[in-house]
Structure 1
Amino acid sequence: MTTIIKEQTYLNYINGSWVPSSSNNVYASINPANKQEVVGYVQISSKSDLNEAIANAKKAQVSWSKLSGTARGEYLYKAATIMEERIDEIAKIMTREMGKTFLEAKGETARGVAILRYYAGEGMRKIGDLIPSTDNEALMFTTRVPLGVVGVITPWNFPVAIPVWKIAPALVYGNTVVLKPAQETSVTAIKVMECFHEAGFPKGVVNVVTGSGSVIGQGIIDHPDVNGITFTGSEQIGKRVGQGAFTRGAKYQLEMGGKNPVIVASDADLDLAVEATISGGLRSTGQKCTATSRVIVLNDVYEDFKEKLVSEIKKIRVGNGLESESWMGPCASENQLNTVLSYIKEGIKEGATLLYGGQREEKNGLEQGFYIQPAVFENVKSDMKIAQEEIFGPVLALIKVNNLEEAIEVANDVRFGLSASIFTKNIGNMLSFIQEMDAGLVRINAESAGVELQAPFGGMKQSSSHSREQGQAAIEFFTSIKTVYVKS
């Protein structure tokens, strides 16, 4: 008989205290590597819990915004130090709750530390400009003011990095925050919040309320005291967030789907291209918004590239992310596994050829987890669902083209425009790709996944609301410009 491992119950964090939900209900966060293991029990919160968090955030924002940027940055720096001390603990929880390998989870947590330290420094940067006035006896300048209360709605695939890269700039620019994390990774989010609590943030400045999107997420969208909403997640939900925020005049920022291509040109370093395609497409089990999904290869190198790619993918070891030999962990949930399997079936139905993988892994003790072999398709046409829709799993679609012009045309032939990469040694190819590729992030001779924290990040077309996150660009969303005119 299988024994369910029971773990502790985690509480909401509201007004500087850990509190149960008013509903007194909890849900189990399940380990995708072993569905019999409960990572922790998390609150199923009610609208009243959310209202309490927002009310306290609104009250705290008055005094928080009066602190200097330097003082606010010092709190972020303290949180970074605590997170760094707890990096292994947080990474292990992330692996158990979301499934990515421990090495990846540790790298993500380290990135969270770096983001906190980066924005701690942002508290000392300028927030305005001096503007010449037509009146020589007047002084005119701009400054920036916080939005107020910011609602942060985050996904399960990066349960440390994404909340931190939204919360850190929101706080350093003088806002207060209410975080609604994805249900699948709420325990990890609470571990992050513990770092903020231990750093001594004033009561109400940062809060987390767990629960369903239909109650807590929708409550953030509708609440009149939430002045800004920053969201990362699916295109469908993102549009609901944007429509709801627009209706009541709240500022919103959306980062949604991607269907990211890599182009392999005739002069590409094929070994490098293969390595980057596998890393960009299959790490984190393909569950990245910037993951490589479409591999567009010029005809004259197609067969060589395909052979090298499949040969290397066959070496991948699928297994529990806490085991050092595992290169790829499970899908994050049973629903996600079923979604990936359904797309694989659809690809076969549409006439694509499944070259390798695509089967559920149920041997060698993996039968209790949501494991799948990485899949590679060829004979993929650009209008097929597996070439148009975001799968969010370890599925690569190979598309053969005749020349670079056709490759870029195919790469742009989707409604998304988040990231894209090309492998070539030709400067002309690089410049054409940079100019013509309709994506917010373009990378040359590097995988499509990933962006440095100090650089703006965001997509085009249906991938985002056209705003940018991270780096100094974050100030554009989390503040408003105020123009000041002083007459002597």
Structure 2
Amino acid sequence: MTIGETVLNYVNGEWMPSSSKEVDSSLNPANKGQVVGYIQRSSKEDLNRAAEAADQARHAWRKLSGTARGSYLYKVADLLEQRLAEVAEAMTLEMGKTFEEAKGETARGVAILRYYAGEGMRKVGDVIPSSDSEALMFTTRVPLGVVGVIAPWNFPVAIPVWKIAPALIYGNTVVFKPASETAVTAAKLMSCFHDAKLPPGVINMVTGRGSEIGQAIIDHPSIHGITFTGSNQVGKRVALGALARGAKYQLEMGGKNPVIVADDADLDLAVEATVSGGLRSTGQKCTATSRVIVQSGVYEAFKAKLLDRVKQLRIGDGMDPQTWMGPCASEGQYETVLSYIRKGQEEGATLLYGGDVPDNGGNGYYVKPAVFENVSPDMVIAREEIFGPVLALLKVDSIADALALANDTEFGLSASIFTKNIGYMLTFIQDMDAGLVRINAESAGVELQAPFGGMKQSSSHSREQGQAAIEFYTSIKTVFVKS
């Protein structure tokens, strides 16, 4: 499809209009007057059609060898790589991240597809000694069946791919609901699957509102597993709905991710990682740095370096190669970020820099990165996920105090520390309640071959990516054979 067209549903190997005939506009957040595309407001009827197609296709798909399924994923990867710039441009136009970031994310999607294509050649079970000397006992893994994929707008290629690729390689079929804000990008991704000629019904996409299509996925009896990334509020609805009908579910939700800067840290490294981890993609990452916990001995020096670096950042249209940070992804997200900045000021935090609209922000959802200090742990900006370019500085006297403060949150997704002290490192690794901990590196780094997921309210305690993905997308079957 080209920019400005209507995104059709992809069901049973065909592009299809929705039954409702209603559409919503996908607007360019850098230029509110530009319509990137029109997104069908599909109905439950459309979702039912996709689920039925996936259910009918799953039996033949699971009978293919892992190698055969992998060959399709290799083809999709090649097509996505050939269309990398096109897909990345759509992403930048739809949700605002810079073109370089969008290209990097699309390239990551290519790598994920190839990684899971290779998984088709790996073992899926173990031989277990039997108490009967004349018997053979082993385990194998079987697919869930149909998997519903509900993906967010902030990583419209990487997150759907890291859900869809393992689902397919392990023998499941898929019903995919993309975020409406980035459905044009999703359609370009889906066209790669279509052109790779996967059998009809193996992968399906239905656009629409979460209250309609997302809920229909949660409720549908033919959808055996649901993988969701998004807000905690919606994630709990997914969990309750899946639990009620016995479907398997996997949730990746919010974060309030800390970085600890010890008094022996390389401050230049810590500043660069804090800025990158907290403000790239306009802070719209679940792993983005939000709380910056700094030991008092280096607090003033770190603050000065941080402010100097933040003031250098160029804000603008993501398609401009000079832009470092683009706009918020939508009007709703823009208003949310501004409301948190106002709340921080109302509660008594000191706004050191930013938080207002830049001079070039007249036709887009631009916000200058905000840096607060004098933030107390009970303030809203220190407790709730903002999902925007807001950093809260907190001063502590010791690493023990820093860890206690870092853990004082309902979330537990990612965290990082900057120090040269091996004792601090080991204590941080042991005591930090987060699913991803990083030493002398930004909080937002996630590698595709490693398990990813959170603790506490950040996750359903399952893990995505890497070989850990097999745990969600399959069930273990124990086999006992005796002649």
* 2:99 aligned partner: 102
Look up the match of 2:211.
214
Return the alpha-carbon distance in structure 2 between the equivalents of residues 62 and 98 of structure 1: 37
2:469 is matched with which residue? 474
Task: List structure 1 segments (4+ residues) > 2 angstroms apart after TM superposition.
Answer: none
Q: Which amino acid is the alignment partner of residue 212 of structure 1? A: R
SS for the counterpart of 1:290 is coil
**Are the aligned partners of 1:6 and 1:37 in contact in 2 as well (CA < 8 Å)?**
no
User: 2:480 maps to which residue?
Assistant: 485
Partners of 1:114 and 1:320 lie apart in 2 by 27
Pick from 174, 178, 183 the counterpart of residue 181 of structure 1. 178
Task: Please report the TM-score for the alignment, with normalisation by the length of structure 1.
Answer: 0.98
Quick one: which of 349, 353, 370 aligns to 1:356?
Answer: 353
* Pairing 1:61–2:50 present: no
Tell me how far apart the structure 1 counterparts of residues 445 and 56 of structure 2 sit (CA, whole Å): 37
Please tell me whether residue 373 in structure 1 is matched to residue 356 in structure 2: no
- Structure 2 unaligned blocks of 5 or more: none
Match of 1:37 in 2: 34
Partner secondary structure for residue 211 of structure 1: coil
User: Hey, what's the Cα distance between the residues in 1 that align with 2:355 and 2:169?
Assistant: 45
1:413 and 2:408 aligned? yes
Q: C-alpha displacement at 1:6, in angstroms?
A: 7.7
Q: Deviations over 1:419-452 (max 9, x none)?
A: 0000000100000000000000000000000210
Structure 1 residue 422 corresponds to structure 2 residue 417: yes
Q: 1:291·1:449 contact (CA, 8 Å) conserved in 2?
A: yes
Give the partner amino acid of 1:377. F
**Residue 342 (structure 1) aligns with:** 339
Structure 2 equivalent of residue 224 of structure 1: 221
**SS at structure 2 position matched to 1:131:** coil
Q: Does 1:450 align with 2:445?
A: yes
Give the secondary structure class of the aligned counterpart of 2:312: coil
Name the residue aligned to 2:140.
143
Matches of 1:446 and 1:61, distance apart in 2: 42
Say whether 1:117 aligns with 2:109. no
Residue 230 of structure 2 corresponds to 233
> Equivalents in 1 of 2:7, 2:257: separation in Å?
36
| Sequence identity (%) | 73
User: Residue in 1 aligned with 2:321?
Assistant: 324
**Which residue does the alignment assign to 1:194?**
191
Rounded Cα–Cα distance in structure 1 between residues aligned with 2:239 and 2:6:
33
Question: Whole-Å Cα distance in 1 between the matches of residues 5 and 450 of structure 2?
Answer: 38
**Conserved? CA contact 1:420–1:441, under 8 Å:** yes
Q: Is the 8 A contact 1:26 1:41 kept in 2?
A: yes
Report SS of the residue matched to 2:104.
helix
- After superposition, give the CA deviation of every residue in 1:73-101 in whole Å (9 maximum; x if it has no partner): 00000000000000000000000001000
The TM-score, its normalising length taken from structure 2, stands at 0.99
- How big is the shift at 1:198? 0.6
Match of 1:167 in 2: 164
Write the deviation string for residues 70-128 of structure 1: whole angstroms up to 9, x where unpaired: 00000000000000000000000000001000000000000000000000000000000
Secondary structure of the equivalent of 2:470? helix
Aligned residue number for residue 16 of structure 1 = 13
Number of equivalenced pairs: 482
SS of equivalent to 1:157: coil
One-letter code of the match for 1:70?
T
CA distance, structure 1, for counterparts of residue 357 and residue 199 of structure 2:
48
For residues 196-239 of structure 1, the C-alpha deviation after alignment (integer angstroms, 9 at most, x for no partner) is 00111000000000000011000000001100000000010001
In structure 2, the residue matched to 1:134 is: 131
Cα distance between partner residues in 1 of 2:473 and 2:95: 29
Distance 1:312 1:255, change over 3 A: same
**What residue in structure 1 maps to residue 386 of structure 2?**
391
Letter in 1 for 2:49: E
Secondary structure of 1:314 counterpart: helix
| Partner of residue 278 from structure 1, selected from 275, 279, 299 | 275
> Residue 48 of structure 1 corresponds to which residue in structure 2?
45
**3-state DSSP class of the match of 2:263?**
coil
Aligned-partner Cα distance in 2 for 1:192–1:6 = 14
The gaps in structure 1 that reach 5 residues or longer are none
